[in-house]
Structure 1
Amino acid sequence: MQLYKRLPLLFVGSLLVGGLLWTCSDDFLEVSPKGALAPSVLATEAGIEGVLLGAYAQLGGRGNYFGGSSNWANGSIQGGEANKGTDDGDFSDINELVRYQLQPTSRIPADRWNGLFEGVSRSNQVLELLSLSEDPLLTDADRTRIEGEARFLRAHYYFQLQISFGQAPFLTPGLTLDEIVQVVSGDVWSEIEADFMYAYNNLPETLPEDGRANKWAAGAYLGKTYMHQSKYEPAKTVLRDVVDNGQTTNGQKYGLLDSYANAFNGDFDNSLESVFAIQAAANSGTTNVANPDFVLNFIQGNKPGGCCGFFQPSYDLVNSFRTEDGLPLLDNSYNSASNKIADDLGIASSDPFTPDTGPIDPRLDHSVGRRGIPYLDWQIHPGKSFIRDQGYAGPYSPKKFVFRQSQESTIADGTSWTAGYTAINYNLIRFSDVLLLLAEAEIETGDLEAGRELINQVRARAKDDENFVMMDDGSPAANYSIELYEPFSDLDMARKAVRLERKLELSGEGHRFFDLRRWGIAEPELNRIIDNEKQYLPLAYAGAEFVTPQDLLYPIPQGQIDLQGPEILPQNPGY
């Protein structure tokens, strides 16, 4: 028999799982690979738990740079929240993403496909070993939990494949080589739902170890899966359960941290706001357990990080934090000359500059580094000297997921070529994300007031002036102004409010492109952003244009189509 014969489609490279291949050929032809573990060894309690940890480890996309789950490039850059940053020549593959010029031979879709299918493979190997195991140490409760975790992870990897490519071959454990090559690619929403539903119904509410998926993480992800299909009623039911009853792994009820900034501070990892996070550690002797996704997204040539100037926030993102009477500008007028936030493009750090004095949502300065405002506890952001090529990438720096100076010896890993390998977890699902998804579901099912209350719950935290960014003299660093919404006048206003709130609250966290697409507004919104950015950064956005249906999905990597054939793996429209 054959446990799980992998094709080049999956590009499996894990030493942990590399020994899970065997066939029913004659005994004298069976030679165990050196340096690999036989299935008889792995089909034990310890072996299965080890392979399960390998499935979790792939959440960071190890070995496939754009296969990680933070989606800083796939969701945030592609969603208009940031540009590539750095300069034109550095890692030029990302230019195709900024300009919506991906091709079937591009690196980004191939990396994403390979990294996510590696995760699928590892998840399926757990399920196959579980079915083979006769280890008496595995109790029924253990088997149910392990199956729930493995199916949660498989659903996660397929969710990412679905929102990126719109299709994928759904592979299950135990398939023979001939069976695998006949699995036709297609929409896999129903399979994703089934896996998350199993996990939601069968995983424990709490678990003794941080980082493992529990019932509530599965429920939140199931709700998100429903939202991506506009299934608002079932989404509302499961998301309400998570909001009302959900608990962290140690039994603490989910909620919002007192400080918005602490949601991205490594000292507060696995907090009450963390529904499901990719775990990271630093200074363990290897950077393999650190957070690899943001390693390029630090100040170039300066502390913190020292490299490489990527992921610089867009003008559109920064301007969207402008407020009037404490509320955001729902008509998108924030980019106008009268509302645009003052910036220092083209102004040397040694020359005078006055930061914007108009009203601003305080979350801006927890999310974006800009001149004249404290950059965490490092220094006042000096502007141009912090930017590798300001004329190409703009005047702003990323700020979320950057370690503090006081954490340099603990949160940052000092054992590699850059301190950008950190112990800061990435929250794949944050509690405010769940609140805003539920708010949207309430609004779309007609309860505008319930939606408003949930949005205001998120805004109320940002409104607390004790958590504003402050200057050394104790004064607010900018004119922070944020208020709660009064009752919405109609459905259109409510929709605009929750959609913009997701942008403000979740900026730079990899959600925006996928939100725009599921709302059906990606083409007009992204072309509006492109037109705005071109005024300031013409080289970065040269030739950029968002075209449907082509740019709604990534192209299927041509190398995979060549391996499988277009009948099994058809190309997406427009490529």
Structure 2
Amino acid sequence: MNNFKLKIGALLSSAAMMVAVSCSDDFLDVPPTGVLAENQLSTVAGLEASLIAAYSQVNGRANRLASASNWVWGSIRGGEANKGTDPGDFATINPIQRFETNSASGDIGAKWNGAYEGIARANSVLRLMQNPAPDVTEADITRISAQARFLRGHYYFELKRDYNNTPYVDENVDYGSGLEEVSNNQDLWPFIEADFKYAVDNLPPTQPQVGRVNQYAAKAYLAKVYLYQGKYSEAKTLFDDVIANGVTSNGVKYGLVDQYQNLWRGAFDNNQETVWAYQSAAGTGSVNNANPEFDLNFPYNSAAPGVCCGFYQPSFSFVNSFRTDSNGLPLLDRQYNVGANQVKNDMNLGSGSDFTPDTGNLDPRLDHTVGRRGIPYLDWQDHPGASWIRNQPNGGPYSPKKYVYSRDEVGSFQDNSSWTPGYTGLNVYIIRFSDVLLMSAEADIETGNLETARAKVNMVRERAQNSNLEREDGTLAANYVVGLYESPWTDATVARKAVRLERMLELGMEGHRFYDLVRWGIVNEEMNAYLQYEAQFLSSAFGGATFTDPYIYNPIPLDQIDLVGSDILIQNPGF
């Protein structure tokens, strides 16, 4: 920034000298400060800065519902959590969790706006390279283009999952004219595939800076795109390559972090499980460089981390799913919501009332994902129950735990520069290696390789076996029992159920669940069972709520239709 100011200063000095020898008024044509000309941005430095801007939009840039974490669109809509807190706080999320939104809803366009901002930034990079400065080499164009197209593919993938088909705009569209004529009558999948294929073909296996996407991240993402379309053979080929040969951006072989809980600690950012995560930093002077979308999602108490505001409370159904049988295996077919399989909780109990936590068999990933009474909440204290919950009748008895900073991380991976200390510098995973293993297991099942799928699921479960939560005295915080699938998988239907539940256990509260249910074709039955179950405990939040087919996608935002007309921007069915 200082160099830029010096250059402007030099230009002004030159202009002042010119006035002494000339009557011309050309010296008055001074470029406005704070605005960069295209020829400045088409240099290598300018292109890199523009590319970083495209990367930075991945976290939503202060729009809590626009980021790739998808805590509302993926996890709240997927039944892993509810909005929590008070009914009147951020009330526009209430109809989202009840599947009662309409096209005029205040937040239905949040993801739309955030994704198109990212697309505009990626397109800007690609457009600038059509007239590169002399210092830009062909190699520069290839590596920068590959990253920009990866990011554009990501933003369109987010739009596709949330709104189905939306207007496709690339770097060749003239933003000065004709943009209003772009319709959403084209399938986005071919465009998304093309961007990721370009990234696969042109990205290097490793990158000089962590956080930049590499070839293996592109292969994993392209395989995910194939999986969503039911192209299982194509997905399997790519997943197999990523598992066998993939490395992180800094060249470390992909693998699972030894203990599940370390995935959420800042000291382990950019670990061997990171296929792609957006980079977060605390104490930079802007909380938008941290995690601006999670600032509300902390226990509601001045003694708790984050202090505010009680959002994103794990659901009863989600917590119950961590119940295991005598062999340590999960209970399939929603048996975890029946009778004694339901995890004991302190609903309707004050913190001063006696309470003994559940003593049955549980998967330890529960207590690294959910804060529940009587169990250590990171290194802060045992969760005290109701005194850390803003409104139990509206949100239930549980608190979120992933992406919450520990006491040891205060001031390093936690930011104190804004209204709340709830901004963290913990990286947020978009694709991690256990996700790849489980997606690959799905592709294996659908291509008839059930035993290969079982081995991959067992890899994930074996890590869970080694991830018990211990108290300071070394005793276990709960009765953790996790087993492996020892018997061969011969029934594809049973194998599917096992993999699908494993994804919830492993990736819970990470924004995947709703999208998984939709692509599996089971969202209607799963979400209606969930809504009915939760309404028993949270009648004001869920009573009378139902899921219907139109809500597989969000409505196209009405304000966008109003801009161009309903004959150009076509509303999704049912809205």
Alignment of 1:153-302 (within 5 A): 153-176=151-174, 177-185=176-184, 186-302=186-302
Structure 2: distance between partners of 1:268 and 1:459:
20
Tell me how far 1:97 sits from its aligned partner.
Answer: 1.0
| Deviation sequence 1:244-265 (CA, Å, 0-9, x none) | 1111121110110001011111
Gapped runs of 5+ residues in structure 2? 1-28
2:129 counterpart SS class: helix
Alignment of 1:503-542 (within 5 A): 503-542=504-543
**Which amino acid is the alignment partner of residue 525 of structure 2?**
P
Equivalence for 1:61: 60
| Deviation sequence 1:197-220 (CA, Å, 0-9, x none) | 110111010011011111011111
Equivalence for 1:310: 311
Tell me how far 1:179 sits from its aligned partner.
Answer: 3.2
Equivalence for 1:90: 89
Equivalence for 1:545: 546
Equivalence for 2:395: 393
Structure 1: distance between partners of 2:498 and 2:286:
44
Are 2:63 and 2:293, in contact at CA under 8 Å, matched by a contact in 1?
no
Gapped runs of 5+ residues in structure 1? 1-29
Are 1:298 and 1:307, in contact at CA under 8 Å, matched by a contact in 2?
yes
1:38 aligns with 2:37: yes
Structure 2: distance between partners of 1:251 and 1:178:
44
Are 1:43 and 1:135, in contact at CA under 8 Å, matched by a contact in 2?
no
Structure 2: distance between partners of 1:547 and 1:317:
21
CA radius of gyration, larger in:
2
Structure 2: distance between partners of 1:92 and 1:285:
30
Tell me how far 1:488 sits from its aligned partner.
Answer: 1.8
- RMSD (CA atoms): 1.4
Equivalence for 2:14: none
**Which amino acid is the alignment partner of residue 247 of structure 2?**
Q
**Which amino acid is the alignment partner of residue 108 of structure 1?**
D
Equivalence for 2:410: 408
| Deviation sequence 1:167-215 (CA, Å, 0-9, x none) | 1111011322443222221320010000001101110100110111110
**Which amino acid is the alignment partner of residue 425 of structure 2?**
A
Tell me how far 1:472 sits from its aligned partner.
Answer: 2.7
Check 1:327–1:355 CA distance in 2 against 1; reply closer, same or farther (3 A cut). same
Tell me how far 1:521 sits from its aligned partner.
Answer: 0.3
**Which amino acid is the alignment partner of residue 501 of structure 2?**
L
| Deviation sequence 1:45-68 (CA, Å, 0-9, x none) | 111100100000100111433111
Equivalence for 2:503: 502
Tell me how far 1:108 sits from its aligned partner.
Answer: 2.2
Tell me how far 1:288 sits from its aligned partner.
Answer: 2.4
2:216 counterpart SS class: helix
Tell me how far 1:491 sits from its aligned partner.
Answer: 0.7
Tell me how far 1:31 sits from its aligned partner.
Answer: 10
Tell me how far 1:32 sits from its aligned partner.
Answer: 6.5
Instruction: State the TM-score, normalized to the length of structure 2.
Output: 0.93
Are 2:227 and 2:443, in contact at CA under 8 Å, matched by a contact in 1?
yes
Of 447, 450, 453, the residue aligned with 1:448 is: 450
1:311 counterpart SS class: strand
Structure 1: distance between partners of 2:42 and 2:88:
48
Tell me how far 1:409 sits from its aligned partner.
Answer: 1.8
**Which amino acid is the alignment partner of residue 403 of structure 1?**
Y
| Deviation sequence 1:309-357 (CA, Å, 0-9, x none) | 1000000100000010200011211111221000000111111001101
**Which amino acid is the alignment partner of residue 513 of structure 1?**
F
Are 2:62 and 2:293, in contact at CA under 8 Å, matched by a contact in 1?
no
| Deviation sequence 1:293-315 (CA, Å, 0-9, x none) | 21110111232001111000000
Which of 496-505 and 60-69 deviates more? 60-69
Equivalence for 1:376: 378
Tell me how far 1:91 sits from its aligned partner.
Answer: 0.4
Are 1:206 and 1:247, in contact at CA under 8 Å, matched by a contact in 2?
yes
Structure 2: distance between partners of 1:225 and 1:263:
25
Tell me how far 1:391 sits from its aligned partner.
Answer: 1.3
| Deviation sequence 1:453-480 (CA, Å, 0-9, x none) | 000010000011xx31112321111110
Structure 2: distance between partners of 1:380 and 1:107:
38
Structure 1: distance between partners of 2:233 and 2:425:
38
Instruction: State the TM-score, normalized to the length of structure 1.
Output: 0.93
The count of corresponding residues between Structure 1 and Structure 2 is: 543
Are 2:39 and 2:133, in contact at CA under 8 Å, matched by a contact in 1?
no
**Which amino acid is the alignment partner of residue 50 of structure 2?**
V
Are 1:45 and 1:135, in contact at CA under 8 Å, matched by a contact in 2?
no
Equivalence for 1:23: none
Which of 178-187 and 111-120 deviates more? 178-187
Are 2:62 and 2:288, in contact at CA under 8 Å, matched by a contact in 1?
no
2:195 counterpart SS class: helix
Equivalence for 1:338: 340
Structure 1: distance between partners of 2:273 and 2:142:
26
Are 1:99 and 1:541, in contact at CA under 8 Å, matched by a contact in 2?
yes
Equivalence for 1:20: none
Of 435, 438, 441, the residue aligned with 1:436 is: 438
